[in-house]
Chains A and B, each alone.
Chain A
Amino acid sequence: MGMGQNFPVAGIALAAVTFVAMILLGVDAVIALSVLLVWVGSLMVAAGRPPEPPKAVVRQQLDLGSISDLIENFSTPLMITERNTIALANRAARTMLGPHVVGQDARVALRQPEAISLLNENRNGEAIVRGLVRRQDIWQINRQAINDRLAMLELTNQTAEADISRAHTDFVANASHELRTPLAAILGYVETLREDEGKVDTPTAQKFLGIIEREAQRLHALVSDLMSLSRVEAEKHELPTEQIELAPLVERAARDAAGSARMERLDIQFAAAPRVIGDLQQLEQVVRNLVDNALKYGADDRPVRVVLDLATADQARIAVEDEGEGIAPEQIPHLTRRFYRTDPGRSRASGGTGLGLAIVKHIVERHRGRLDITSELGKGTRVVVRLPLAEQEALTAEGIDEDHDGDEREPETQQLS
């Protein structure tokens, strides 16, 4: 590297000292003089060169110290390797791998074979390693060379992504288990009926057939729920487009869920006739699932209230309330998980699939709405769905409908359909 256009004072002084020393040591004066001349001459030639471009000065400033200042506070673990040793590790990396890694061979910090082949081959690239800190961790190592000595290693935690894919696997495993349970019962009873041909008396056979039918229906419900869940999930990011009158929809779906047997327990109240942008079938399913849950898990002789009103000026609110034993507060956050049951035995006995609220949650999310569940043990549960109203312009276009609000008599007229 050139020393710039500065006069080489230090070099000439050194040459002079050497000259004097040589004279003092008794070296031939001619030789000493020629050494001096050649030395000083070469220094002058070097000094005469044009100065290096200023870029070189900037380059020089990028030393380890400034890199260290630069990377220290990054939240991603970063390390700088010099040849094969770790010259720098920022705080995140030291916390993760331990402060001892600085100054060590890079292999001491990253001993996984994939990481080592990345380090050894001295290339830019990425490697996925398992068990960097804890044994089940998955990290991605990204190596980028800075120059021929230094390289930067960037560590990214991929464990969360692996967890998501594991959640999918778990779902498939759960679903298969849920499907197999009713099938096993059906197969068992069919086998019994077939093997003991003639020996099973008619009442017992009827009982068996009843069980088979019930299990088959449960299977049917489960498959339908799984299908709607996957459909809702697939459409999760598309906003629905239909204009929907909520009042008749809630009415229809609630009655549908109750069926003639439980109709008298249903108490439907409309305080508004809101209009939303939504998916007709999906919103019907929300109401159906909620009302069915309320009827199923509320006390047998108590009414279930379904109230439709406005939560705010731009939000419709559907509330479904039952009176029953309620749900323990610690279980509420888990209710919308697939196949989560507060009481597996009771849920199965009443033909629940464990997917109802999961479907509701996904549908409400797709409609940009909110789902709130409040419950008090011993009193009952209240589920509230809030949905944003359709745009104002849509309302004014059919503003006449607004006058019909408070259509509390509509239930009776609709009962016929």
Chain B
Amino acid sequence: MAEHTVKAFDEDITRLRGLIAEMGGLAEVAIQEALDALVRGDEELAEKVVARDKRIDALETEVDKLAVRIIALRAPMADDLREVIAALKIGGVVERIGDYSKNIAKRVGMIEGRSRFEPLTLLPAMGELAGEMVHDVLTAYAARDPDLAREVIATDAKVDAFYNSIFRNLVSHMVENPSTISSAAQLLFVARNIERIGDHATNVAEMVHFAATGAYPPEGDR
């Protein structure tokens, strides 16, 4: 991006992007650790994930304030305005991704008979895929890379397919083993959360594309 006459404006934008990246980094780790905690039944790790979500929330507030301040004081135009607006929206979405991870972590303690629980083995693969989407979309944001953003959007279909198969798997598991219904239902929510993380990563990808090119990606990609 070309430099601005007002150097402070560049500094503000750089700081804004730094804040988004920091949020994203935290969200990535949160997904990974929430799923690790779920698979291993590690409630301590789960608590750590829940505790760290506060930091994401605090960063979101900071992003909001800074974005509003930039708009109020510098009246950005064109790509600068898109950058600020995108950051404002991405901040909100990444915060949601953090919340979903927190939600997964909160369910760790509610699942019984973990080692014999077959549907549990499918979730990490799905989580891995969603985690990769978040990772890639943040890289796309950092590099302002619309092509990578479009790739992320394309990956969402796989996550959705995963969700459908896990859903069926869990339902049939519940039918066959009524005693595990409460645990299986929890896993259903976990799968749902991961699916939502994928959708949110897609939203971020659209905004990255918008900030970089000024247009939303073509409908076929979504």
A-side residues, CB < 8 A to B, are 84-85, 98, 100-101, 103-113, 115-116, 130-131, 135
Q: Is the CB of A135 within 8 A of B142?
A: no
Among B15, B21, B28, max chain A CB count under 10 A is at B21
Number of contacts between A and B (CB, 8 Å)? 61
Contacts of A107 in B (CB 8 A): 18-19, 21-22, 25
- Tell me if B154 is interfacial: C-beta within 8 Å of chain A: no
11 A-B pairs whose Cβ atoms sit less than 8 Å apart in the complex: A84-B18, A98-B143, A100-B142, A104-B142, A107-B25, A111-B24, A111-B138, A113-B22, A113-B52, A116-B22, A130-B32
Q: Is the CB of B21 within 8 A of A111?
A: yes
Distance of A110 Cα from B132 Cα, bound (Å): 16
- Tell me if B114 is interfacial: C-beta within 8 Å of chain A: no
- Tell me if B26 is interfacial: C-beta within 8 Å of chain A: yes
Distance of A260 Cα from B139 Cα, bound (Å): 68
B-side residues, CB < 8 A to A, are 14-15, 17-19, 21-22, 24-26, 28-29, 32, 52, 128, 131-132, 135, 138-139, 142-144
Q: Is the CB of A135 within 8 A of B22?
A: no
Asked if A98 meets B18 with Cβ closer than 8 Å, knowing A113-B25, A135-B131, A135-B135, the reply is no
Among A84, A113, A115, max chain B CB count under 10 A is at A113
Contact of A108 among B28, B128, B135, B142 (CB under 8 A): B142
For the complex of A and B, 5 pairs with smallest distance between CB atoms: A105-B18, A111-B25, A107-B18, A111-B21, A108-B21
Contacts of B135 in A (CB 8 A): 131, 135
* A112 closest partner in B (C-beta): B25
Contacts of B32 in A (CB 8 A): 130-131
Contacts of A111 in B (CB 8 A): 21-22, 24-25, 28, 138, 142
Distance of A84 Cα from B25 Cα, bound (Å): 16
Closest chain B CB from A249 CB (angstroms):
50
Distance of A415 Cα from B28 Cα, bound (Å): 70
Contacts of B144 in A (CB 8 A): 100
* B15 closest partner in A (C-beta): A105
Distance of A57 Cα from B171 Cα, bound (Å): 75
Q: Is the CB of A105 within 8 A of B132?
A: no
Asked if A109 meets B29 with Cβ closer than 8 Å, knowing A85-B14, A116-B22, A131-B135, the reply is no
Distance of A109 Cα from B14 Cα, bound (Å): 12
Contacts of B18 in A (CB 8 A): 84, 104-108
Distance of A311 Cα from B158 Cα, bound (Å): 59
Contact of B14 among A104, A131, A135 (CB under 8 A): A104
* A120 closest partner in B (C-beta): B22
Closest chain B CB from A119 CB (angstroms):
9
